[in-house]
């Protein structure tokens, strides 16, 4: 390969369409004869429906139908929670609504109102008279504390409810220093700008579904299993997605409800969730309590880590965000124990939200490490370096690559860590107390469970098309896939177009858990390089080619021209001469299970905050993040992703909270006016860098993913900076003004 | 949202004639009104668009006062040089409110009439005395971190959300109204009613009566003035606590002071008790703290908003320190 497109800060290929409004999102799809469906959600969190009076709704002009559990078909198979990472069905919960009158959570769909227009359907839903019999509910931890249990497995059976190694009691007994603290986290909702939506259209038993999702293939298989029709009869199209952050990572009820409604109405149907329904329709990050205990020798070396988490799950799934595993992986420590405690409550099954697991768990571990550093009289960075895990503490295997010490070093340099006064409350700037804090970030490198495919096709005019089913949820995937394809084929960027977001293209799993670039990138890389090899092989065998007889190893491709030791010609010339209009290659990437190495993504994050000494207002002044995510595919989109993650961390630390009103079992602030996310004025100078690590083991492209890692350490770093500024350890997130008065 | 009809009127007489329809509402910038219609809190079936009325002027009055037309946009008022020069706190209160886009749409009259942000008020089906008189107050015992501690009643304790009204109340502004039977004017402070046992009634305005202008009398004291807003995020959020202050301090003595609070009361809260204690006294922190404590003495806390009492006191001290140092 002679070009070096991979890594270049190439501008988004879809940027123009997005800023001009030409990019059509799912809710903007309009089909001839299409009608609008609106979900009416349960007003109670527990109990049953005793009656639904449709008359007022049906009397509203433009309302065409009201469908209830009595009208909707039964699902063909009962859904079972399955992670979208699996690449197959991706049921967000083991429950499908509108099958019977039982209510498990507020907002659960109880009826679908169909209208000529969206307004008519919305009005109809407002006028629907549903009566309920309410029973007792559990929607906050305090209501169910005495009923908690330890699940056998969490995460759809993929992770144990309890884990550990060594002997924590012995480790704590041997400790000269201990830290024990309990932290609480508010519930959070992902709140992407684009609300979830599906458009369903049946034609002769074939279903076409436009769906806002991470994984068109996941929607296809999930809807197929619920409707009981072959996947081959469903085509799912997802062209543009306006963010997700986990809200669209699993497949929830609405695409299937849209398909069922379209079948009943004999019309194409659009079903879009409202902002408020995004709080009860796509999972959430559950509010939780975590207790951590650290034991350490006087020199700061960890002797024991115990980490427990308590949270609410749905009546039918054992869901816990996997917050605890990180505490067992980050530092060298022989004794580790972690336990998830769950309470069955009246919520839908919680789900992924950006940085799932590590984001909440590491905030706790890294705040406790800050306390330990103070007890040990050590600089927080030095404490972490002393506990650096040279090999994976879980498996004992060497890392495929690491780079964490370099991240600490560079991050400290960027933020000016040397200026930090270890004594809290010492730096002042007018009304403001100034402090600095840091934390480590890690994120798993999830294995892909099935073959990931992409097709490369070259036309005789020299242009190429890359096809793969994946969707671009706004990360820049389409752009990096174009770069990878162009580099693999030896073509300039403008000669390559990527087609994506469509199940009629080769299979790709949902892009979740920072695996999108790994799946799509490696499949496209193999497709493009495979096609290039195929074309070169053809040329050296072609008697009419100036490359005839050349050693394929010695042939390079530059701007679509195959250059051999003794002659050259373009792909197009060769294909044209042989009357071949186009030629294709299917690339298949199968994750190779590596028994010799441990895989993990690393970074270090730093923050400088200002806290108004009298008024308790916290403002972040600077953030620095340095990450070692393997090979960087596009410096521009990577920087944006990592920066976005860091801003998410700021938001988690200081702003985001969904408030449950347990009397009603309903969210009290389901709007962007009351669920706060940062505005530009909250976002300070954000410094983002990556350190190069060469990882030959992880996958052909050497990439670890960048979607989540940027967020993971930020909340801990900010909380530690608030302590350094004020001397107050705030142990509830978000950190609010009242906790600092 | 229900179906409705719409009329656009060009003069005050037609607006008043249309406004006689009891099933009608005025539409100015729409930044509150459209929300209310969407969430079903406003149920009237006719919208009377008053944006063409000649009520958008911003005039300097002889002697240094101001007359703000009811339809003057928040952004235009804030950008007016004489306002910037004479009434800094008015400009700050405007510019710290909402967002630039909203301020371009939002009118001064509409701002006075904006509705509370209490989540239960905005959520159909929840008990709320303001929306459904007699149905109860879900915020009590519910989520009420943003709610008021002053001017509350057992029937309602939703905070009045406006910023600019706080500065205007501190400036003794007067509001001008015109109805089918004539014109009247009243101190702006009296235009905001405390909830008492009738939280559904927020203003002493008749249905179909039009706000025509807000007059701000000359106030040399306002040249040294400040509006301070405390909130979780740096912009685009209502106040947890805010304070508008203007003061003249000579030789360490407070000659004149104006103080009003936002974010903590059921209406823009003129801090008269504090003003009285401060006037003629020394401009020192102890005096500021004593005045702040006196003002907040009648505050009624609820579990989630109790912190506002301390926060309000500290904010008062902060703004007084700032203006007296200026
Ligand atoms: C997201 C958001 C954030 C906001 N943040 C802030 C903030 O931080 N600080 C702040 O102070 N405000 C804030 N606001 C409120 C905003 O300032 C008001 O919505 C705005 O001032 C209302 O003016 P309008 O012209 O849009 O009124 P409209 O919405 O058109 O009308 C509001 C009400 O006033 C009535 N009305 C309007 N004009 C007249 C008149 N001349 N005579 C009689 N009745 C009239 C209408 O009938 C209606 O009932 C925010 C609003 C939003 C949506
Ligand atoms: S505080 Fe007022 S507005 Fe809020 S629920 Fe109670 S009565 Fe309604």
Question: What one-character-per-residue DSSP string does A3-17 give?
Answer: ---TBS-PPPTTHHH
What phi and psi, each to the nearest 5 degrees, are found at residue A721? -70, -40
Q: What residues of B are in contact with residue A107 (Cβ under 8 Å)? A: none
Tokens of A707: 């979607």
For residue A2, what pLDDT is reported? 43
Please state the three-class secondary structure of A129-158 as a single string: EEEEEECCCCCCHHHHHHHCECCCEECCCC
Cβ of B142 under 8 Å from any chain A Cβ? yes
* Residues A83, A71: Cα–Cα separation, whole Å: 30
Pairing status of strand B58-60 against strand B174-179: unpaired
Tell me the percentage of chain A whose pLDDT exceeds 90. 93
- Of the three residues A255, A281, A307, the one that is the final residue of a domain is A281
Find the residue in A nearest to B241 (Cα).
A615
Task: Quote the ligand 2 centre to A399 CA distance (angstroms).
Answer: 57
Pairing status of strand B46-49 against strand B5-8: parallel
For residue A593, what pLDDT is reported? 84
For residue A701, is it within any domain? yes
For residue B318, what pLDDT is reported? 98
For residue A248, what pLDDT is reported? 96
Nearest CB partner across the interface for B232, out of A123, A671, A736: A736
- H helical segments located in B183-284: 188-191, 272-278
Report the DSSP beta bridge partners of residue B260.
Answer: B244, B270
User: Mutate which of B38, B229, B233 to disrupt the A interface (most A C-beta within 10 Å)?
Assistant: B233
Residues A216 and A259 in one domain: yes
Q: Provide the chain A residues 190-209 that lie in CB contact (below 8 A) with chain B.
A: none
Find the residue in A nearest to B40 (Cα).
A126
* Residues A186, A402: Cα–Cα separation, whole Å: 32
A732 closest CA partner among A185, A81, A125: A185
Cβ of A623 under 8 Å from any chain B Cβ? no
Type and span of the H or E element at B67: strand B66-69
* Residues B209, B22: Cα–Cα separation, whole Å: 11
Q: What residues of A are in contact with residue B1 (Cβ under 8 Å)? A: 119, 122-123
For residue A148, is it within any domain? no
Q: What domains can you pick out in chain B, each with its CATH number?
A: 5-49 (3.30.43.10), 223-325 (3.30.390.50)
Residues A215 and A274 in one domain: yes
For residue A379, is it within any domain? yes
**Residue where the block lists tokens 């480590």:** A440
pLDDT reading at A517 higher than 90: no
For residue A612, is it within any domain? yes
Q: What residue owns the CA closest to ligand 1's atom 13?
A: B98
The pLDDT-based confidence of A513 (bands split at 50, 70, 90) is confident
* Helix/strand/coil for B315: helix
pLDDT reading at A3 higher than 70: no
A444 closest CA partner among A323, A596, A595: A323
Distance (Å) from the alpha carbon of A119 to chain B's nearest alpha carbon: 7
Cβ of A676 under 8 Å from any chain B Cβ? yes
**Residue where the block lists tokens 């003595």:** B253
Task: Count Cβ–Cβ pairs < 8 Å, chain A vs chain B.
Answer: 76
Q: Provide the chain B residues 218-257 that lie in CB contact (below 8 A) with chain A.
A: 230-237, 240
- To 10 degrees, the CA torsion angle through B207, B209, B213, B216? -60
Tokens of A235: 């085509």
The pLDDT-based confidence of A509 (bands split at 50, 70, 90) is confident
Instruction: Kindly write down the DSSP assignment for every residue of A475-533, as one continuous string.
Output: SSHHHHHHHHHHHHHT--GGGEEEEESBTTSSP-----TT-HIIIIIHHHHHHHHHHHH
* Helix/strand/coil for B34: helix
Provide the phi-psi class of A403: left if phi over 0, else alpha when psi is between -120 and 50, else beta: left
ipTM score assigned to the predicted complex? 0.96
Cβ of A674 under 8 Å from any chain B Cβ? yes
Number of domains into which chain A is organized:
3
- H helical segments located in A519-606: 522-541, 571-577
Residues A584 and A631 in one domain: no
Side-by-side strand order, sheet with B225-230 = B225-230, B241-250, B253-262, B269-270
**Inter-chain contact A679–B234, Cβ cutoff 8 Å?**
yes
* Residues A335, A303: Cα–Cα separation, whole Å: 6
Which domain range does residue A236 map to? 30-136+190-281
CA A611 to chain centre: 31
Atom of ligand 1 lying closest to residue B111 CA:
21
**Inter-chain contact B315–A616, Cβ cutoff 8 Å?**
no
Report the DSSP beta bridge partners of residue A457.
Answer: A465, A584
B158 ligand 2 Cβ < 6 A: yes
**Residue where the block lists tokens 């904006």:** B114
Q: What is the DSSP letter of A379?
A: -
Nearest ligand to the CA of B117 is 2
For residue A290, is it within any domain? no
**Inter-chain contact A663–B141, Cβ cutoff 8 Å?**
yes
Q: What residues of B are in contact with residue A673 (Cβ under 8 Å)? A: 117
User: Which of A462-466, A624-628, B38-42, B138-142 has the least mean pLDDT?
Assistant: B38-42
Task: Enumerate residue ranges in chain B where pLDDT < 70.
Answer: none
Nearest CB partner across the interface for B311, out of A664, A671, A737: A737
Residues A667 and A602 in one domain: yes
Per residue in A91-110, pLDDT (tens digit) is 999 999 999 999 999 999 99
Type and span of the H or E element at B254: strand B253-262
pLDDT reading at A343 higher than 80: yes
A93 closest CA partner among A103, A109, A78, A80: A80
Contact B315, B227 (CB under 8 A): no
What phi and psi, each to the nearest 5 degrees, are found at residue A359? -55, -45
Side-by-side strand order, sheet with A568-570 = A556-558, A561-563, A568-570
B142 ligand 1 Cβ < 6 A: no
For residue A512, what pLDDT is reported? 78
For residue B65, what pLDDT is reported? 97
Q: What residues of A are in contact with residue B124 (Cβ under 8 Å)? A: 126
Distance (Å) from the alpha carbon of A290 to chain B's nearest alpha carbon: 23
Residues A127 and A76 in one domain: yes
Find the residue in B nearest to A678 (Cα).
B233
* Residues A325, A323: Cα–Cα separation, whole Å: 6
A604 closest CA partner among A430, A446, A445, A382: A382
0.90 cut: is pTM over it? Answer: yes
Residues A88 and A212 in one domain: yes
Q: Provide the chain B residues 82-121 that lie in CB contact (below 8 A) with chain A.
A: 117, 119-120
For residue A212, is it within any domain? yes
Provide the phi-psi class of A665: left if phi over 0, else alpha when psi is between -120 and 50, else beta: left
**Inter-chain contact A615–B237, Cβ cutoff 8 Å?**
no
- Of the three residues A281, A298, A318, the one that is the final residue of a domain is A281
Cβ of A619 under 8 Å from any chain B Cβ? yes
Contact A268, A199 (CB under 8 A): yes
What phi and psi, each to the nearest 5 degrees, are found at residue B215? -105, 135
Per residue in A359-411, pLDDT (tens digit) is 999 999 999 999 999 999 999 999 999 999 999 999 999 999 999 999 999 99
A196 to A39, A105, A451, B49: CA distances (angstroms) = 12, 19, 28, 34
For residue A249, is it within any domain? yes
Average pLDDT, chain A: 96
Tokens of A597: 């190495």
User: Mutate which of B119, B147, B313 to disrupt the A interface (most A C-beta within 10 Å)?
Assistant: B119
Could you give the count of Cα atoms lying within 13 Å of B254 in the half-sphere of its Cβ? 27
Per residue in A432-455, pLDDT (tens digit) is 999 999 999 999 998 888 899 999
CATH of the domain at A73: 3.30.365.10
Residues A581 and A679 in one domain: no
B128 ligand 2 Cβ < 6 A: yes
Cβ of A9 under 8 Å from any chain B Cβ? no
Cβ of A43 under 8 Å from any chain B Cβ? yes
Length of chain A as a residue count: 741
Tokens of A294: 């650290």
Residues A536 and A605 in one domain: no
* Residues A456, A498: Cα–Cα separation, whole Å: 9
Cβ of B286 under 8 Å from any chain A Cβ? no
Please state the three-class secondary structure of A675-701 as a single string: CCCCCHHHCCEEEEEECCCCCCCCCCC
Residues A668 and A623 in one domain: yes
Nearest CB partner across the interface for A43, out of B125, B232, B317: B125
Mutation probe of ligand 2 site: the residue of B156, B161, B265, B305 with most atoms within 8 A of C-beta:
B156
Task: Quote the ligand 1 centre to B26 CA distance (angstroms).
Answer: 11
What phi and psi, each to the nearest 5 degrees, are found at residue A25? -90, 165
The average pLDDT across A590-616 equals: 95
For residue A512, is it within any domain? yes
pLDDT reading at A682 higher than 50: yes
Nearest CB partner across the interface for A676, out of B40, B143, B232: B232
Distance (Å) from the alpha carbon of B298 to chain A's nearest alpha carbon: 20
- Of the three residues A228, A255, A281, the one that is the final residue of a domain is A281
Q: What is the DSSP letter of A247?
A: T
* Residues A376, A374: Cα–Cα separation, whole Å: 5
Q: What residues of B are in contact with residue A117 (Cβ under 8 Å)? A: none
**Residue where the block lists tokens 């669920």:** A675
Task: Quote the ligand 1 centre to B32 CA distance (angstroms).
Answer: 5
B70 ligand 1 Cβ < 6 A: yes
Residues A270 and A205 in one domain: yes
Residues A60 and A195 in one domain: yes
The average pLDDT across A624-634 equals: 95
Peptide bond into A734 cis (omega under 30): yes
Mutation probe of ligand 1 site: the residue of B95, B106, B211 with most atoms within 8 A of C-beta:
B106
Distance (Å) from the alpha carbon of B300 to chain A's nearest alpha carbon: 17
Annotation says A708 is catalytic: yes
Contact B312, B264 (CB under 8 A): yes
* Residues B257, B241: Cα–Cα separation, whole Å: 19
* Residues A523, A699: Cα–Cα separation, whole Å: 11
Catalytic one of A286, A358, A608, A708: A708
A444 closest CA partner among A606, A629, A591: A629
Q: What residues of B are in contact with residue A682 (Cβ under 8 Å)? A: 233-235
The average pLDDT across A188-204 equals: 97
Instruction: Kindly write down the DSSP assignment for every residue of A386-401, as one continuous string.
Output: HTB-SB-TTT-PBBS-
Atom of ligand 2 lying closest to residue B118 CA:
4
The pLDDT-based confidence of A1 (bands split at 50, 70, 90) is very low
Contact A648, A734 (CB under 8 A): no
Tokens of A532: 């290039």
A399 closest CA partner among A360, A445, A366: A445
Contact A657, A187 (CB under 8 A): yes
Residues A627 and A492 in one domain: no
Q: How many CB atoms lie within 10 A of CB A9?
A: 11
């Amino acid at each position: 390969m002679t070009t070096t497109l991979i890594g270049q800060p190439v501008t988004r290929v879809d940027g123009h369409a997005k800023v001009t409004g030409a990019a059509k999102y799912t809710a903007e799809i309009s089909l001839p004869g299409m009608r609008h469906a609106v979900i009416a959600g349960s007003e109670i969190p527990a109990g049953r429906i005793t009656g639904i009076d449709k008359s007022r709704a049906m009397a509203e002009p433009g309302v065409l139908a009201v469908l209830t559990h009595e009208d909707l078909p039964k699902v063909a198979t009962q859904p079972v929670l399955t992670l979208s990472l699996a690449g197959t069905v991706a049921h967000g919960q083991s429950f499908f609504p509108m099958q019977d009158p039982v209510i498990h959570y507020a907002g659960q769909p109880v009826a679908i109102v169909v209208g000529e227009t969206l307004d008519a359907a919305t009005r109809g839903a407002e006028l629907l008279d549903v009566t309920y019999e309410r029973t007792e509910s559990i929607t906050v931890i305090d209501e169910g504390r005495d009923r908690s249990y330890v699940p056998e497995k969490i995460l759809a059976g993929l992770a144990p409810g309890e884990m550990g190694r060594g002997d924590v009691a012995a480790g704590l007994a041997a400790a000269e220093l201990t830290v024990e603290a309990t932290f609480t986290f508010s519930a959070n909702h992902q709140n992407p700008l684009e609300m979830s939506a599906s458009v369903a259209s049946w034609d002769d038993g074939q279903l076409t579904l436009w769906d806002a999702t991470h994984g068109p293939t996941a929607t296809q298989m999930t809807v197929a299993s619920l409707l009981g029709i072959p996947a081959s009869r469903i085509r799912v199209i997802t062209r543009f997605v306006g963010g997700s952050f986990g809200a669209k990572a699993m497949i929830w009820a609405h695409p299937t409800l849209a398909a069922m409604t379209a079948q009943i109405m004999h019309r194409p149907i659009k079903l879009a969730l409202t902002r408020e329904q995004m709080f009860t329709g796509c999972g959430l990050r559950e509010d939780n309590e975590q207790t951590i205990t650290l034991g350490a020798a006087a020199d700061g070396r960890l002797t024991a880590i115990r980490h427990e988490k308590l949270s609410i799950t749905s009546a039918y799934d054992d869901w816990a965000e996997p917050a605890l595993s990180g505490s067992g992986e980050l530092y060298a420590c022989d004794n580790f124990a972690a336990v998830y405690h769950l309470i069955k409550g009246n919520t839908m099954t919680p789900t992924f939200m950006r940085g799932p697991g590590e984001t909440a768990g590491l905030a706790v571990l890294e705040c406790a490490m800050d306390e330990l550093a103070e007890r040990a009289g050590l600089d927080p960075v030095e404490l972490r370096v002393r506990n650096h895990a040279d090999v994976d503490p879980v498996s004992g295997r060497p890392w495929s690559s690491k780079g964490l010490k370099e991240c600490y070093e560079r991050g400290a340099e960027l933020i000016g860590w040397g200026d930090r006064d270890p004594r809290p409350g010492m730096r002042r700037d007018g009304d403001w107390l100034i402090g600095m804090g840091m934390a480590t970030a890690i994120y798993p490198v999830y294995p892909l469970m099935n073959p990931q495919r992409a097709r490369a096709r070259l036309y005789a005019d020299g242009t190429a098309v890359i096809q793969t089913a994946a969707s671009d949820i706004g990360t820049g995937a389409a752009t990096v896939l174009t770069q990878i394809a162009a580099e693999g084929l030896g073509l300039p960027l403008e000669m390559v177009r990527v087609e994506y977001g469509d199940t009629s293209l080769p299979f790709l799993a949902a892009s979740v858990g920072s695996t999108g670039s790994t799946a799509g990138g490696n499949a496209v890389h193999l497709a493009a390089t495979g096609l290039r090899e195929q074309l070169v092989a053809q040329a050296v065998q072609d008697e009419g080619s100036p490359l005839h007889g050349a050693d394929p190893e010695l042939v390079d491709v530059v701007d679509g021209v195959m250059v051999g030791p003794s002659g050259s010609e373009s792909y197009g010339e060769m294909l044209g001469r042989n009357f071949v209009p186009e030629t294709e290659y299917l690339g298949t990437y199968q994750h190779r299970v590596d028994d010799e190495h441990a895989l993990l993504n690393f970074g270090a994050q730093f923050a400088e905050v200002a806290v108004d000494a009298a008024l308790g207002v916290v403002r972040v002044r600077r953030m620095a993040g340095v990450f070692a995510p393997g090979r960087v595919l596009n410096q521009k989109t990577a920087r944006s992703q990592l920066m976005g993650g860091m801003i998410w961390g700021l938001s988690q630390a200081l702003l985001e909270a969904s408030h449950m009103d347990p009397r009603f079992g309903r969210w009290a602030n389901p709007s962007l006016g009351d669920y706060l996310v940062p505005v530009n004025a909250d976002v300070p100078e954000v410094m983002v860098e990556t350190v190069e690590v060469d990882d030959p083991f992880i996958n052909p492209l050497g990439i670890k993913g960048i979607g989540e890692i940027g967020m993971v350490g930020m909340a801990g770093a900010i909380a530690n900076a608030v302590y350094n500024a004020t001397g107050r350890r705030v142990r509830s997130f978000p950190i609010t003004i009242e906790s600092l008065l | 949202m229900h179906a409705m009809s719409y009329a656009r009127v060009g003069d005050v007489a037609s607006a008043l004639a249309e406004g006689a329809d009891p099933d009608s509402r005025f539409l100015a910038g729409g930044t509150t009104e459209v929300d209310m219609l969407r969430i079903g809190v406003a149920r009237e079936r006719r919208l009377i668009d008053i944006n063409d009325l000649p009520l958008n002027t911003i005039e300097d009055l002889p002697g240094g006062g101001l007359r703000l037309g009811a339809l003057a946009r928040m952004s235009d008022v804030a950008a007016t040089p004489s306002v910037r020069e004479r009434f800094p706190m008015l400009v700050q209160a405007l510019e710290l409110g909402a967002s630039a886009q909203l301020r371009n749409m939002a009118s001064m009259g509409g701002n006075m009439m904006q509705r509370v942000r209490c989540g239960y008020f905005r959520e159909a089906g929840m008990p709320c005395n303001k929306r459904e008189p007699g149905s109860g107050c879900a915020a009590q015992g519910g989520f009420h971190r943003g709610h008021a501690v002053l001017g509350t009643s057992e029937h309602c304790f939703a905070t009045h959300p406006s910023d600019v009204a706080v500065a205007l109340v501190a400036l003794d502004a007067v509001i001008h109204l015109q109805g089918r039977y004539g014109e009247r004017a009243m101190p702006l402070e009296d235009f905001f009613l405390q909830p008492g046992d009738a939280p559904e009634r927020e203003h002493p305005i008749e249905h179909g009566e039009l706000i025509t202008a807000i007059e701000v009398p000359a106030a040399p004291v306002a040249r040294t003035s400040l509006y301070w807003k405390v909130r979780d995020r740096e912009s685009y959020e209502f106040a947890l606590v805010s304070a508008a202050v203007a003061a003249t301090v000579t030789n360490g003595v407070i000659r004149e002071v104006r103080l009003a609070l936002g974010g903590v009361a059921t209406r823009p809260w003129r801090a008269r008790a504090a003003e009285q204690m401060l006037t003629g006294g020394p401009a020192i922190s102890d005096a500021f703290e004593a005045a702040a404590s006196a003002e907040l003495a009648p505050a009624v806390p609820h579990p989630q908003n109790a912190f506002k009492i301390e926060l309000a006191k500290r904010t008062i001290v902060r703004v007084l320190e700032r203006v007296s140092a200026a």
